[in-house]
Homo-oligomer: A and B are copies of this chain.
């Protein structure tokens, strides 16, 4: 479970969206956003395999890659660790920063409200 680098993460994202996928599909998909050489993407795929973040099955001449780690849980662990390092574990300061710098849109506010009320309902039922 080594660390996954920023660039590796972007490759993973593609795989989470569409899985399994051949190197070329991945490269193409990435090309819509990034300017990476195919070789570069291949290297990243290799490294992800080594890190056991993804795997592949052989399909003729190609490999079909798929993630071994779940997006959900990776995100959770990763964001927890970031928030821990930067905000001693609390999300609210992060959100506060966003608010302060006008990075919050109505959508976010609505979402946050939902999260809050869900959380509160859960508390109730916990207390049963």
A residues neighboring B (CB under 8 Å): 6, 9, 72, 75-76, 78-80, 82-83, 85-86, 89-101, 103-105, 107-109, 111-113, 115-116, 118-120
- What DSSP secondary structure best describes chain A's contact surface? helix
B86→A108 contact, CB < 8 A: no
B-side contacts of A101, CB under 8 Å:
76, 80
What are 6 A-B residue pairs whose CB atoms fall within 8 Å in the complex? A9-B86, A79-B98, A89-B103, A93-B111, A99-B119, A116-B116
B-side contacts of A115, CB under 8 Å:
92, 95-96, 99, 112
B95→A95 contact, CB < 8 A: yes
B-side contacts of A82, CB under 8 Å:
82
B-side contacts of A96, CB under 8 Å:
111, 115
Picked from B100, B104, B105, B112, the residue with its CB within 8 Å of the CB of A76 is B100
B116→A113 contact, CB < 8 A: yes
B-side contacts of A93, CB under 8 Å:
111
Name the CB-closest residue of B to A92.
B111
B-side contacts of A100, CB under 8 Å:
76
B-side contacts of A9, CB under 8 Å:
85-86
Name the CB-closest residue of B to A78.
B86
